[in-house]
Amino acid sequence: MWNKIKEIPEITIRFISEQLKVFKNDERGLSGVVVAILLILVAVLAIVLIWGFLSGWLQELWEQITGRAGAIS
């Protein structure tokens, strides 16, 4: 019984190392991860570009609103 318990860490290490080898050589799951990362990158870049284009227009609009608000009072 104690011999079996003593073998558990060794069996666990072998099992984990085998699973890592299988995961490293498996190309099916990696392509999905790569696609997800690329989609996130494209979305972030699109948001940055849109914000860059709209920030000048929004700043100009805000100055018009605040300039007219000062004239009202």
pLDDT tens, residue by residue, 22-54: 877 776 766 777 888 889 999 999 999 888 888
Residue 73: pLDDT over 60: no
- For a pLDDT cut of 90, what percent of the chain falls above it? 14
pLDDT of 43 reads 94
Residue 66: pLDDT over 80: yes
At residue 70 the predicted structure's pLDDT band, cuts being 50, 70 and 90, is low
Measured CA distances, 56 to 4, 5, 48, 66, 70 (Å): 71, 68, 13, 15, 21
CA distance 28 to 38: 16
pLDDT of 47 reads 92
